[in-house]
Amino acid sequence: MTMRLLALMPSLYDTSPGQRYRLEQWDPLLRERGVEITYEPFESPELHQVVYKPGLLGTKLKLVTGAVRRRAALLNKIKNYDVVYIFREAALLGPPVFERLVYQSGVPFVFDFDDAIFVSYKSPSNGYLSYLKFAGKTKTNCRLAAHVMVGNPYLADYARQVNQNVTIIPTTIDTNKYQPITGKVAKNPVVIGWTGSYSTVQHLDTLRSALQKLAKLESFKLRVIGTPTYQLEGVDVLASQWRSDTELEDLNAIDIGVMPLPDDSWSKGKCGLKALQFMALGIPTVCSPVGVNTDIIQHNENGLIAATEEEWIHKLSLLVRSAELRKRLGDAGRKTVELKYSATAQAPRVFEVLESVIRGSKVNVDSVLDSAPATTENHGYSAGSEDI
């Protein structure tokens, strides 16, 4: 039986990490189960070109107005679908007008989000427009949705304030596409790498001092993917723009992955994508003990956790010096992704949610990662622990 799904997405297909590692990645596995997906992005190609560039307020407002009109016209076709999937929000700006109209249409919708979008956040590229984001609409969308899918327990706790039909679906990796390089030759110097965007480079900035001090102790290069102008005095930096067609090649050039995060409400909503990308490729990863990171990484078993500047320097130094440690943690990280964070493991659970919404029944809302076996116990981590 065919299931017709309308996907209301913020961005164009294959341009946004959140979309690419959620519905877009689950797409072929859902289609095998009879789901026909129609993508309707809020962005136009023209809006996509300018939305993350500083300034250009008048141009952005004009293009956003056009996007709102396209969304309004789309509402006439809602009845042609069995279920609607809304990722993060139906429109980039404004109150939940379209979500209310979808709800009123009688066609059930699934609301999916992978960030703490209910926390007010001022974008470095769209400062003024950030005030029109209406972070509070997230709670309304959770309440109106027939079911809510979220990327981690922190987001689930928020959604369950107003809707008990909540399922945690972690951000996943296509493990057929993300394959470790067999017989990867260690480079000299070793490459420490970070991947992100203009809006998240501030997270990498929290390591500036640690990396500068590390450079006085060890020989390494820093590869930065996503912001081509990054510079760091005293450190050999290779910076490049993120591109979909070279992403795997760029990531595979990295020997040690880092995912630093500040300990704040916004970061607690992160779903560990950067860490999972590295781990899927067998790249040993060091993360801050924030949010879901300590669920994904068991310290010194499938990766490393570092809380303080001294710990970052120490853990990175150990990895730079030891190819054996890099191999052990990289192999264990890959196994963790295969068992718990792969699209193959989680797409059937997404299909179960969609089916339940159409039937009007409930799924096991307490299921977190029950369908996938765990690799090890989560032993936890406390700042200052020293077990390697």
Distance between CA atoms of residues 176 and 361, nearest Å = 33
In a domain, 161, yes or no: no
* CATH code for position 199: 3.40.50.2000
Distance between CA atoms of residues 219 and 205, nearest Å = 20
For 231-262, b/e burial (b = at least 16 CB within 10 A) is ebeebeeebeebeeeebeebbbbbbbbbbbbe
pTM of the model: 0.83
Both tokens of 242, joined, read: 């993120």
Higher pLDDT: 191 or 130? It is: 191
Residue 163 has pLDDT above 90, yes or no: yes
Distance between CA atoms of residues 353 and 375, nearest Å = 25
Do 116 and 18 belong to one domain? yes
Do 280 and 199 belong to one domain? yes
Do 103 and 199 belong to one domain? no
Residue range 219-245, pLDDT digits in tens: 999 999 999 999 999 999 999 999 888
In a domain, 334, yes or no: yes
Distance between CA atoms of residues 33 and 344, nearest Å = 13
Return mean pLDDT, the chain: 88
pLDDT at site 362: 61
Please report how the helices 208-215 and 309-321 are oriented relative to each other, as an axis angle in degrees rounded to 10: 40
pLDDT at site 367: 42
pLDDT at site 310: 98
- Ranking 127-131, 349-353, 378-382 by mean pLDDT, the lowest is 378-382
Residue range 319-357, pLDDT digits in tens: 999 999 999 999 999 999 999 999 999 999 999 999 999
Residue 138 contacts residue 116 (beta carbons within 8 Å): no
Average pLDDT over residues 28-46: 95
pLDDT tier for residue 185 given thresholds of 50, 70 and 90: confident
- Ranking 75-84, 283-292, 374-383 by mean pLDDT, the lowest is 374-383
Do 242 and 136 belong to one domain? no
Identify the three-state secondary structure at position 11. coil
pLDDT at site 187: 78
Residue 195 contacts residue 251 (beta carbons within 8 Å): yes
Residue 262 has pLDDT above 60, yes or no: yes
Cα dihedral value 295, 298, 299, 301, nearest 10 = -160
Higher pLDDT: 125 or 161? It is: 161
In a domain, 172, yes or no: no
Do 199 and 334 belong to one domain? yes
DSSP tag of 184 = P
Do 205 and 301 belong to one domain? yes
pLDDT at site 379: 33
Identify the three-state secondary structure at position 341. coil
Q: Which range marks the domain in which residue 274 is found?
A: 190-338
pLDDT at site 121: 59
In a domain, 174, yes or no: no
Average pLDDT over residues 143-172: 96
Percent of the chain's residues with pLDDT above 90: 73
Residue range 137-148, pLDDT digits in tens: 999 999 999 999
pLDDT at site 370: 43
Residue 191 has pLDDT above 60, yes or no: yes
Residue 112 contacts residue 84 (beta carbons within 8 Å): no
Both tokens of 359, joined, read: 């039937």
* CATH code for position 69: 3.40.50
Residue 93 has pLDDT above 70, yes or no: yes
pLDDT tier for residue 366 given thresholds of 50, 70 and 90: very low
Residue found by looking up tokens 């500068």 in the block: 212
Average pLDDT over residues 162-175: 96
Percent of the chain's residues with pLDDT above 70: 89
Neighbours of 270 (CB within 10 A): 26
In a domain, 181, yes or no: no
- Ranking 5-19, 181-195, 201-215, 290-304 by mean pLDDT, the lowest is 181-195
pLDDT at site 377: 33
N- to C-terminal Cα separation, the chain: 54
Residue 130 has pLDDT above 80, yes or no: no
Distance between CA atoms of residues 146 and 154, nearest Å = 20
In a domain, 137, yes or no: yes
Residue 287 has pLDDT above 70, yes or no: yes
DSSP tag of 115 = S
In a domain, 229, yes or no: yes
- Ranking 44-53, 216-225, 226-235, 253-262 by mean pLDDT, the lowest is 44-53
Distance between CA atoms of residues 23 and 343, nearest Å = 10
Both tokens of 77, joined, read: 């076709």
Distance between CA atoms of residues 218 and 259, nearest Å = 20
- Which residue, of 338, 357, 374, is where some domain finishes? 338
Average pLDDT over residues 256-285: 94
pLDDT tier for residue 55 given thresholds of 50, 70 and 90: confident
In a domain, 177, yes or no: no
Indicate the number of domains in the chain: 2
